[in-house]
């Protein structure tokens, strides 16, 4: 049996923060605001995985009121979810995601992101597909005030 889950996330872009996307520190003059490292792609993938497994959402598992997660690497969230899935006999088949921002260009960073995500999830890079879009200058994302991501995950269960 296969299961699909969807995930969405958005973070404000502010000065004085790192821009962590897919576990990679992307050089840029702004970064994601957030309790953890603000990794919009990791968070969207977390929600997609939890959704496919019927396990709720990222806020339930990693509440932003918990000091344990302050500044935490979001790759740790993925590793935690990977173990949850394994304990329920789910196998991760594929992840597809789109990251939306006006700048910087993300394509050149995708190979490193896919490798980091694959390592955290215990799968291979070719099981992760990443896409980059701009918001055509429209809305907060288009004005460079925020970054967003959508993800879909497919799991199988035996
Ligand atoms: Zn987030």
pLDDT in tens, 113-152: 999 999 999 999 999 999 999 999 999 999 999 999 999 9
The tens digit of pLDDT for each residue in 56-68 reads 999 999 988 888 8
Taking alpha carbons only, the member of 131, 126, 124 closest to residue 151 is 131
d(CA 125, ligand 1 centre) in Å: 22
d(CA 108, ligand 1 centre) in Å: 22
Share the mean pLDDT of the chain.
Answer: 96
Taking alpha carbons only, the member of 54, 45, 63 closest to residue 121 is 45
How many CB atoms lie under 10 A from the CB of residue 84? 14
- What is the SS3 assignment for 111? helix
The pLDDT value recorded for residue 66 is 86
The pLDDT value recorded for residue 156 is 98
**Residue 41 near residue 151, CB atoms below 8 Å:** yes
* Rounded Cα distance, 64 and 129, in Å: 28
* Rounded Cα distance, 152 and 121, in Å: 14
**Residue 83 near residue 122, CB atoms below 8 Å:** no
d(CA 43, ligand 1 centre) in Å: 5
d(CA 158, ligand 1 centre) in Å: 31
The pLDDT value recorded for residue 67 is 87
Give the confidence band of 49 by pLDDT, cuts at 50, 70, 90. very high
Q: Tokens at residue 145, please?
A: 């005030």
Q: Tokens at residue 24, please?
A: 């990679």
pTM above 0.95, yes or no: yes
Percent of the chain past pLDDT 70, that is, above it, reads: 100
């Amino acid at each position: 049996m296969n299961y699909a889950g969807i995930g969405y996330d958005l973070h404000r872009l502010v000065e004085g923060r790192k821009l962590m996307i897919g576990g990679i520190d992307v050089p840029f003059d702004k970064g994601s605001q957030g309790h953890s490292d603000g990794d919009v792609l990791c968070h969207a993938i977390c929600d997609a995985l939890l959704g496919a497994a019927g396990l709720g959402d990222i806020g339930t598992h990693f509440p932003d009121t918990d000091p344990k997660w302050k500044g935490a690497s979001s790759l740790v969230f993925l590793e935690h979810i990977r173990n949850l899935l394994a304990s329920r006999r789910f196998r991760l088949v594929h992840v597809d995601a789109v990251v939306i921002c006006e700048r910087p260009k993300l394509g050149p960073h995708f190979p490193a992101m896919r490798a980091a995500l694959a390592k955290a999830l215990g799968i291979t890079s070719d099981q992760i597909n990443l896409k980059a879009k701009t918001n055509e200058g429209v809305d907060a994302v288009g004005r460079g005030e925020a970054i967003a991501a959508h993800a879909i995950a497919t799991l199988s269960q035996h």
